[in-house]
């Protein structure tokens, strides 16, 4: 039986959490259907000093702002909307007052594929969860999950399958060019050669020998 990671796992900086989430299992029980998959791609957003992060230069929660949950302790869900139509799921990281989060960009589907296919409208397993918007749709994650306790039993991250260090690559994050020098930080972690990584227009791009895929980072505020 899969059990949620404990709170202590999340009470560290987003970069460390993002790396350690690779190979863990994301589980959702939305609408009575259990769906799950191994995390193969993450991005760390490292708080007030990170120009790509939603909490960049923010002093604290401000009564209803979307980043308010980020200022609490790690281990809660930060779900936001991009392009007016796609949800993105993040795990809040670090201790209370340090507003950091990890975007889950892609998973390898493992459980509940029939529900995922129905929600996504495709039979292609490689397209079910290969991007932050896709995986939220496949797992039934919506903004109603904003603030959900990831140490609970409805939406959580559990142990998975260890990924050898040699198969985990760190690259710059995707679609954060607005962040200046912060766009170059190696805060995106991927499982090398995974066919389930996010993809832009279904095509891979190669740069300096590293696979860079898809869009969907934290957009400008």
Residue 108 buriedness (CB in 10 A; 0-12 / 13-18 / 19+): buried
Confidence of residue 1 (pLDDT cuts 50, 70, 90): confident
Whether residue 128 has pLDDT greater than 80 = yes
Average of per-residue pLDDT across 62-68: 92
Contacts of 124 (CB under 8 A, 6+ apart): none
Whether residue 36 has pLDDT greater than 90 = yes
Counted domains in the chain? 1
More confident residue, 14 or 200: 14
Alpha-helix runs per DSSP H in 82-210: 113-120, 132-139
Average of per-residue pLDDT across 62-82: 95
Domain presence at residue 1? no
pLDDT at residue 63 in the model: 85
Confidence of residue 177 (pLDDT cuts 50, 70, 90): very high
pLDDT at residue 86 in the model: 94
Q: In the 8-state DSSP scheme, what is residue 151?
A: T
Looking at residue 53, which CATH number applies to its domain? Answer: 3.10.300.10
Domain that holds residue 157: 7-212
Domain presence at residue 2? no
Contacts of 132 (CB under 8 A, 6+ apart): 82, 86, 87, 88, 89, 103, 104, 105, 106, 198, 216
CA distance 108 to 114: 14
Average of per-residue pLDDT across 54-58: 95
Domain presence at residue 196? yes
Domain presence at residue 158? yes
Average of per-residue pLDDT across 31-59: 97
Contact between 96 and 7 (Cβ < 8 Å): no
Domain presence at residue 79? yes
Average of per-residue pLDDT across 38-67: 95
CA distance 97 to 140: 29
């Amino acid at each position: 039986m899969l059990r949620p990671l404990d709170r202590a796992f999340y009470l560290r900086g987003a970069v460390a959490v993002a790396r350690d989430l690779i190979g863990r299992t994301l589980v959702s029980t939305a609408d009575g259907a259990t769906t799950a998959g191994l995390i193969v791609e993450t991005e760390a957003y490292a708080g007030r000093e990170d120009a790509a992060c939603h909490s960049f230069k923010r002093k604290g929660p401000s009564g209803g702002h979307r980043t308010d949950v980020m200022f609490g302790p790690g281990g809660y869900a930060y779900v936001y909307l991009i392009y007016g139509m796609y949800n993105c799921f993040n795990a809040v990281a670090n201790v209370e007052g340090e507003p950091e989060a990890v975007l889950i960009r892609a998973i390898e589907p493992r459980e509940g594929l029939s529900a995922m296919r129905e929600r996504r409208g495709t039979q292609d397993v490689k397209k079910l969860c290969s991007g932050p918007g896709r995986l939220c749709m496949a797992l039934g994650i919506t903004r109603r999950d904003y603030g959900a306790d990831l140490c609970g039993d409805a939406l959580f991250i559990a142990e998975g399958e260890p990924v050898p260090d040699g198969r985990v690559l760190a690259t710059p994050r995707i679609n954060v060019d607005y962040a200046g020098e912060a766009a170059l930080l190696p805060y995106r972690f991927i499982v090398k050669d995974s066919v389930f990584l996010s993809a832009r227009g279904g095509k891979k791009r190669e740069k300096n020998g590293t696979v860079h895929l898809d869009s969907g980072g934290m957009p400008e505020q």
